[in-house]
Amino acid sequence: MGVVRGQDPFAEDAAEARRRLVAALDAEGCLPDPTWRAAFAEVPRHLFVPVYHVGAFGGYERLSRDDPDPLDRLRWLEGAYEDRPLGTLLRDDDLLSSASQPSLMADMLHALDVRDGDTVLEIGAGSGYNAALLSHRLGDSRVTTVDLDTDITDAARAHLHEAGYHPAVVTGDGALGCPGRAPFDRIIATCAMPSVPAAWLGQCRPDAIVVTPLSTGIVRLRVEDAGHAEGRFLHTSAYFVPVRGALPAAPEPRTGGLPRRALDSDLFRFLLTLASESLDPYEAYALWRREGRPDRERYGVTVRGGRQWAWLDDPGGPYSWALGGPARSPAGA
């Protein structure tokens, strides 16, 4: 359990704001596990976002705990405990890092299904808040968080220290995992991935679980061995800052000429992004309508024999799309 170091002038108000946040997450059914409920109730999110940015008038508004205006300081504190994502690092008006929406974080941590004694690798250190939640649940020595950007890891380490947590914070390419700290029982990513890095599976113990954003969803994979993992998407939508480093960015899907009602559908855009390298957008639209506008839970991902593909309903069925390359049938895999 973390212990806040030094005097925190916001501690009392922050504790009440945390109670409201946890009550809201409880009401949404996001905290069925009492151990995660305790983590969200006790980890001080405001210490991880001393400065953050929220969308305003086509750009970003900066809120800070050091603002000279007491009303703006109050806005900063209340915003730190709202169920919304917060931008934590801007560079030339580009968002490089963010603190995820707490309800989405709770969904992903629940899907991770950690057990006492598990070791966890987090890809994307962000503000350090997610690593603090993991450390609260498992202990500092069992948590590793990695990020490519030194500014991000330095800030995350400082926030964690202020809140009394000390997991391993590593600067490096998250797509390569963290071989010096492997093997892991669980891997969780907090950045959007175009595919599943092979290095992750090679650093997992058998029966490990990987939870990672892919397309505009979250996939949960169970790892059989270094060459095989499979699983389905969670129900929730998810929009994360793209991973930076060795993996190429996922291409933007083509949308020209598609009906507005399709582009307005979050579920269709999920399929369109998932299959962007393999499926013509008009074919994707026809398939989506024919299959009854399927929810995310009907989709999954398989990694096997150096290949990986997304699929609808059945990994060996008629609807599958290669990830990270041209379309190939999984038949005989």
> How many CB atoms lie under 10 A from the CB of residue 153?
19
How much is the pLDDT for 104? Answer: 96
Comparing 85-99, 216-230, 291-305, the range with the smallest average pLDDT is: 85-99
Of the pLDDT bands very low, low, confident and very high (cuts 50, 70, 90), residue 327 is very low
Nearest Cα to Cα of residue 88 among 45, 118, 121: 45
How much is the pLDDT for 326? Answer: 35
pLDDT in tens, 69-93: 999 999 999 999 999 999 888 877 7
326: Cα separation from own chain's centroid: 26
**Is-contact 188 212, C-beta < 8 A?**
yes
pLDDT in tens, 134-168: 999 999 999 999 999 999 999 999 999 999 999 99
Residues 6+ apart with CB under 8 A from 112: 120, 186, 188, 209, 211
Residue 49 gets which letter from DSSP?
-
Q: Give the tokens for residue 210.
A: 């990987």
In this predicted structure, the answer to whether residue 116 has a pLDDT above a threshold of 80 is: yes
How much is the pLDDT for 246? Answer: 61
How much is the pLDDT for 333? Answer: 32
Angstrom distance (rounded) from CA 237 to CA 215? 9
How much is the pLDDT for 5? Answer: 47
Angstrom distance (rounded) from CA 265 to CA 146? 34
Could you tell me what percent of the chain has a pLDDT over 90?
Answer: 71
Q: What is the DSSP code string of 308-331? A: EEEEES-TTSS-EEESSSS----T
In this predicted structure, the answer to whether residue 248 has a pLDDT above a threshold of 80 is: no
Average pLDDT in the chain:
90
**Is-contact 159 46, C-beta < 8 A?**
no
**What's the rounded mean pLDDT across residues 285-311?**
94
Residues annotated catalytic, as ranges = 100
In this predicted structure, the answer to whether residue 127 has a pLDDT above a threshold of 80 is: yes
Comparing 88-92, 242-246, 325-329, the range with the smallest average pLDDT is: 325-329
Q: Is the peptide bond before 197 cis (omega within 30 degrees of 0)?
A: no
Q: Give the tokens for residue 81.
A: 């405990």
How much is the pLDDT for 96? Answer: 78
Could you tell me what percent of the chain has a pLDDT over 70?
Answer: 92
> How many CB atoms lie under 10 A from the CB of residue 291?
13
In this predicted structure, the answer to whether residue 8 has a pLDDT above a threshold of 90 is: no
Which domains occur in the chain, in start order? 11-233 (3.40.50.150), 260-322 (no CATH)
Q: The whole model's pTM is what?
A: 0.91
pLDDT in tens, 13-24: 999 999 999 999
In this predicted structure, the answer to whether residue 1 has a pLDDT above a threshold of 60 is: no
Higher pLDDT, 170 or 55: 170
The vertex-313 CA angle with 312 and 318, nearest 5°, equals: 60
How much is the pLDDT for 218? Answer: 97
Of the pLDDT bands very low, low, confident and very high (cuts 50, 70, 90), residue 254 is confident
How much is the pLDDT for 329? Answer: 35
The vertex-139 CA angle with 137 and 141, nearest 5°, equals: 145
Higher pLDDT, 51 or 276: 51
Of the pLDDT bands very low, low, confident and very high (cuts 50, 70, 90), residue 262 is confident
In this predicted structure, the answer to whether residue 49 has a pLDDT above a threshold of 90 is: yes
Of the pLDDT bands very low, low, confident and very high (cuts 50, 70, 90), residue 226 is very high
Angstrom distance (rounded) from CA 194 to CA 263? 20
**Is-contact 262 282, C-beta < 8 A?**
no
In this predicted structure, the answer to whether residue 178 has a pLDDT above a threshold of 70 is: yes
